[in-house]
Structure 1
Amino acid sequence: MVGVPRSTGCRLCRTRKVKCDTLKPSCGNCIKYGAECPGYSRGLKFVDEKHQIRQRSRRQGKSQEVSTTGSSASSTTGSDIAALDSESWSLVRPSPTLLRLELPRGPLLLNMIESSTNYTRSTDVFILLSWLNIDRLGKRALLDGAICSFALHLTGKANSNADLVAKSRTIYGLALNELQAALQHSTEWKASETLCAAILLCYFELFAGTAVPDTWIQHAKGIGTLMEQRGPAAHAEGWDAAMLLSCRGILTISDMFYPGKDQLFLSRPAWRHVTSDGGRRLIYAPDAPIEHIRVGDGFLANLAQLTPILHGAYLLREANKAGMFVKPDKISALAHLATVEHVRLARWFDDFDALEFPRPVEVLPTDPDNSLFETVLEHKSAAAGSLLMGYWASMLILEETLVECGTPRANSEISIRYFVEQILRSVESVGRDTMGAISNWVRHTDRV
């Protein structure tokens, strides 16, 4: 039997149906024509394998029947939700605009969200859902499915319930299908509910983990593209502004690992006025001190400025390894950027350190025999811990950049070792319970 050929070329060459030389990081065709090589990975494609029967006509009564069969959703359990027919989740059938099912799904979903946040309140996961607009629930199957999958996963993980976790993945697949349909629609692609669903599904991939560990980063890159196409005015106020503020971090991280040919859109002048909370408390508690908000905004602004430095440092390191010549003026420019950002970030840390927050404490590792350290760091505050680890990682990147430029700071070896050890000693703390999946991201980020 003749085998079916399977191309190993990059995605762009496969789309163009041309022969690819499979060079990395960019193939010869992409280099020749000045195109950005999308890479060689094949993304997951969710296919509904249920047998489809085409009917000669679809009467209006069919859609009413779907609504009627789900009218008891307010009393259903998690298993009933997973068993719903895929048509009841459809965004584009029968109406391609707003899915107005007369189902009391809103109270059901609100109950699920409250349950999941109660289970995970100790890990600060509930902050991720604090910006959700409850009034939008129960109106779009796409958004409802995204919320459902994320809430079920959090609850299942917190209770070690494998059945709930499995059901969350089933609903995730249905919601991902709906997201693909919405993004291809002429008006639905820019709806606030579509953006919210995309963010929630990205969070699901981050917490749940997938076969490919960086799937969520690729998804975040797509969210950035969607926001950029919607424009800064669409994210100036209200719910849309809160969504932008909530995922500034993952947008910046995605640009670090999958940089585009242009500057990160969050760093552009047109976007700067909408990328900080500025005391509006859109994603913060009403009583949050303004100093805490400013420190949070400041760190994310510095993180966005770090991405071009990281890209330049990576290229310089690879060139140094290969013995390639790099123009001295480019090295000097990169060293200047790194030095300025180092000073700016050190000033930010002084402001952060002046705040009142629980400092990390040294504790014994859970497995002393296999631990690299006699003591590890326990972060009592997840928010403060994430800022600390982000600061250590950012300073590590800047120190290594200056080393590659041939202009290391005084005692750089001691500083580099300190930042590395602080990060590694914190992995055990951030890798517990529901937040455990994020430790995979931490290890992935450390490789930078």
Structure 2
Amino acid sequence: MPGVPKSTGCRTCKQRRIKCDESWPTCAQCKHIKAECPGPTSLIKFIVQKTSHVSSGRKASPKTIHSGSALRLCKVQYAKVEDEGAGYGLLKVSPRSNPTTVADRVGVRLVGNMERGPIGVAGIYMTYLPELPKRLARSPCLRDSVDLFCSAWTSFRRGHLQEGGLMSMPQYGKSLRSLGRALLNDHHHDVETLAAMVLFERTSRLFNPDPHQAGIHLKAIREVFCQKGPPNIKDELDVAATNEIHWLLLRDDSRNDDNAFLYKSPWKEALSYCADHMVPLNDVRPYLIDDIWVLYGCSKQLYALLPDFQQASCYSSGNEAAAHALQIRHQLQGLRETLKDRPIKLWGKALDAGVITKTPDDDSITGHKYSFSSVFLASMYQKILLVRLAIMRMICTLVDIWGAPDSTLSAECREVSVYVWKMIPYVRSLESVIAIDLIKPILFSYEAADSKEKEYLLDSIQEIDSKIGRYPRDRNELEATLKSGDQILSYFADDSI
């Protein structure tokens, strides 16, 4: 066998390339030159098996071979060797080899980004991220979308995102062209193409400062999603991508007949399976699972009511207009009752279980700081609070225009707002691309605050948005935005619950 020592001669003789007579404790050659004899050489030898790079013609560096390697010693005994301690030891190394392809390098970038910082995005919606590195070699458009996401994320963390925003990055145009080629080459049935489109859309939502540009790719995603057919429930990437698409389509599916296929067999059953097996749901069972589906149904109805509400909120005289406004108010009141006490009842249960912890915080306007065991849990609580506040804000608008005040509305707004404020320290502790997604309930709670609380809310909003630039930088302009019902509801309409 190559590399196995042939004799037990001393190392001094082997280095001098002369025969050792092996007369221990000191061989004749060492005695002749008056050198200390090191004794017999062990027949155990360690061999590092290096990964071969035939295609590239390059050898892996020692640093690469040992980085992240798994070491295993295998000892083999030979029958002709009388010494029981002698043998051939093989040290096997499973190296993390140098990335040799573009797909490998992009995959390493994605893993590196996830290892270097908080990965809250995968805990809320991008649950397909861990599945992407092993699929990049199959799809150039997925590789380019991941490259865009990594570049945008890295630039954002360093504060170097270009003035022109995401669209000014060269990776943006490259990714867009790559997706176009995939669709022209009839790859729209591939789950990798669909995942690339979803990642492209999510990257735009995360790193584009203008929220009104969100959703510009939804029409193409819907068409590819429909043409591809129901998801393969045995493919984890397909399941995770399907869940995100389903959430993205929610904000307009009540007003768009193109989404009717989602509620027919076999789509209905497949989507139900995917939703029930959403990975982050494991973090909230059994604290919030029922509320999520209630939230889904109420959000769907609320989005459908937005056009009618906007029409009713524009005052016009006449019994017909008044009747229409009253009808919208009754529908909003029904949604308000459905969401009442959610998630307040489960808040105590989650505290007792330790998934939510309460600690004193002198800097908080509530005097306490709440922390969550999972970003997804915090996000779902925030979504429920957001929808409740949006409903009550819309009812308030109709009351101001058409009269018939509700004596309980103000107190309930204040109660729900206080729950929002309890979560602000936690939201401020998150990476800003995640925190900005949880900021909307704070916007809706502004009107329920007193003067001191409003200053705290303005400070929190500006801190969270400092790296994003989604809301007005001028404090007076920001305050005017928060007081404008139309502006606030426009932010809600652009949300993807």
TM-score with structure 2 length normalisation? 0.54
Q: Is residue 110 of structure 1 aligned with residue 121 of structure 2?
A: no
| C-alpha deviation, 1:200, in angstroms | 0.8
1:264-279 → structure 2 map (5 Å cutoff): 265=260, 268=263, 272-277=268-273
Distance 1:225 1:287 in 2: 32
- Structure with the greater alpha carbon radius of gyration: 2
Query: Which residues in structure 2 correspond to 1:19-168 (within 5 Å)?
Result: 104-121=101-118, 123=120, 125=122, 128-132=125-129, 133-134=131-132, 135-158=134-157
- CA distance 1:172–1:278, shift in 2 (3 Å): closer
The Cα of 1:117 is off from its aligned counterpart by 1.5
- Cα deviation 1:52-75 (Å, max 9, x = unaligned): xxxxxxxxxxxxxxxxx9999x99
Report the Cα offset of residue 281 of structure 1: 2.7
> Shift in Å at residue 146 of structure 1?
0.8
Contact 2:136–2:142 (CA under 8 A) maintained in structure 1: yes
Report the Cα distance in structure 1 between the residues aligned to 2:202 and 2:422, rounded to whole angstroms. 25
- Aligned counterpart, 2:188: 189
In structure 2, the residue matched to 1:305 is: 301
Identity %: 14
Give how far 1:142 is off: 0.7
Q: Is the 8 A contact 1:198 1:223 kept in 2?
A: yes
SS of 2:128 mapped into structure 1: coil
Other-structure match for 2:212 = 214
Partner of 1:35: none
Give the alignment partner of residue 383 of structure 1, picking from 358, 372, 376: 376
Q: Distance in 2 between the 1:424 and 1:221 partners?
A: 36
**Correspondence list, 1:241-320, <5 A:** 241-253=239-251, 255=252, 260=255, 262=257, 265=260, 268=263, 272-277=268-273, 281-284=277-280, 289=285, 292-318=288-314, 320=315
Is this contact kept in 2: 1:360–1:385, CA < 8 A? no
Equivalents in 2 of 1:249, 1:328: separation in Å?
Answer: 34
Match of 1:44 in 2: none
Relative to 1, partners in 2 of residues 1:167 and 1:305: Cα closer, same or farther, differing over 3 Å?
Answer: closer
| 2:340 partner SS | helix
CA distance in 2: counterparts of 1:110 and 1:392, whole angstroms: 37
Paired amino acid for 1:130: T
CA deviation profile, 1:400-443 (whole Å, cap 9, x unmatched): 34442766654102223444565577567536663347527845
Q: 1:396–1:169: structure 2 CA closer, same or farther, 3 Å change rule?
A: same
Structure 1 CA distance, aligned partners of 2:198 and 2:175? 12
Change (3 A) 1:384 1:170: same
Structure 1 partner of 2:15: none
Partner Cα separation in structure 2 for residue 123 and residue 187 of structure 1: 34
- Partner residue in 2 for 1:413: 410
The structural deviation recorded for 1:174 is 0.9
Helix, strand or coil at the partner of 2:238: helix
* Pair 1:442–1:394, CA change in 2 (3 A): same
Mapped partners of 2:381, 2:224: distance in 1 = 30
Contact 1:131 1:283 in 2 (8 A): no
Answer yes or no: is the 8 Å Cα contact 1:392–1:419 preserved in 2: yes
TM-score, normalisation: structure 1 = 0.59
Relative distance call for 1:176 and 1:269 in structure 2 (3 A) is: same
Counterpart-to-counterpart distance in 2, 1:266 and 1:442:
33
Q: Distance in 2 between matches of 1:188 and 1:279?
A: 25
Cα shift at 1:178:
1.8
Change over 3 Å in CA distance of 1:272–1:154 after alignment to 2: same
- Unaligned 5+ segments in structure 2 are 1-54, 62-98, 445-487, 490-497
1:341 aligns with: 335
Q: Which amino acid aligns with 2:387?
A: S
Aligned twin of 2:71: none
CA contact (8 A) 1:379 1:429 kept: yes
Q: What residue in structure 2 maps to residue 176 of structure 1? A: 176
Report the Cα distance in structure 1 between the residues aligned to 2:110 and 2:154, rounded to whole angstroms. 9
